[in-house]
Structure formats: C-alpha cells, structure tokens
Amino acid sequence: MKNIQEIVNLSLLQAAAVKQDLYRTASTITKITEKILAVLRRGKTVYFMGNGGSAADAQHFAAELVGHFQISHKKPLAAVALSANTALLTSLANDYGFEQIFSRQIQALVKKGDVVVAISTSGNSPSVLEGVKAAKKIGAATVGLTGQNGGRLKNIADLCLRVPSNNVARIQECHQTVGHIICEIAEKELSKPR
C-alpha cells in the first residue's frame, strides 16, 4: 500500500495534469462565459443545477455572482441555485419523483432568454437532463459542465464543456476552476461603468 506522502504527491500531480489538459477547452470556456455575460447584460438570470458535489458547486457559483468574488462593492448579478431549497427539493422528489426536482422549478421560474447551467460529472444525471429539456422548451439557453465522456448532456446542451478526465474529483475541481473564471470575468465586465 502506498504511504500517505505518495498518495498526496500522486493526487496533486493528477490534478495539475488535468488542469493543463483543460487548457485545450479554453475556447469552449470563452463561449460559455460570453453566453452568460450576454444573459446578465440583458437583465436576465443564470440558473445553476446539479446533484451532490455539483449541487454544492451550483450554490457556490450563484453565491459568487449575487454576492462577490473579488470585487467587494460590485452590483449583485442575477443567479439562482436550484439545489438550495431543501423543502422544495424534497417535496418535488416526494410528489413527482427525484428526476423532476429541477424541471418543475425551471417551469415555474425560468424565462426565455435566461441561461441554465447544468453540472453533472457523468452527464447522465436524470434530474439534470430533465431540467435541460424543460429549459429548452421555454427558450432558455443551456450550458453543460461534465466529464470527458459528456454523457447524454453533451448532446442536449447548447454549449457543453467536457473536462478531460473520468475521475470525479478531478472533474469537480475543474468545474470549480471554470466557475471561478466565469465569476471573475462577469464581475469585472459587469462592474465597469457604462
């Protein structure tokens, strides 16, 4: 069995390698960022959804946009994490089935011209896929953040970033990096005086 130092070293090297490979997706990250900026400039809303660690990322990114990332006195940007309301999530799961927890919220809240960011390391989460389908019916833009394979999400999202890894931890770390890039750019661009 490897000792703790070997595991630490290997994990750090793997994380660094995936981040370097992520560089090859820079044009997709740019397109996603431009889409989100366009939505926010029009006064529309960015909705985030995901399960488990991806739900935590959804809440994290929404908090950075509404609160602040690096500029403490910026205007709040319209962002909502669909994973944040436990009473709503559990009632929807109980009454309609877990696969409907996001689609029902999207039908109630999302408007044409908004953007829905779907986060799923596998790209196959039924609740996330149903949410994307509901968003598309409304006329919202859809963005997927997923892993190397992309799952079914890569085929239904308008834009899809596929992190070049099959390791869930490495994928989530890259999703966080991409989310921070988007938040940093949105904050800088949308805090400028017009």
Dump pLDDT digits (tens) for 140-158: 999 999 999 999 999 999 9
Every domain of the chain and the residues it spans: 4-190
Helix, strand, or coil (residue 87): helix
CA distance 40 to 89: 26
The tally of CA atoms less than 13 A away on the side-chain side of residue 138 is 23
Mapping DSSP onto H, E and C, the string for 153-166 reads: HHHHCCEEEECCCC
> What CATH number belongs to 4-190?
3.40.50.10490
β pairing state of 115-119 and 79-81: unpaired
pLDDT tens for 87-143 read 999 999 999 999 999 999 999 999 999 999 999 999 999 999 999 999 999 999 999
Query: What angle is formed at CA 185 by the lines to CA 179 and CA 189, rounded to 5 degrees?
Result: 145
Model confidence at 73, pLDDT cuts 50, 70, 90, reads confident
Nearest to 49 by CA among 170, 111, 134, 112: 134
Model-wide pTM > 0.85: yes
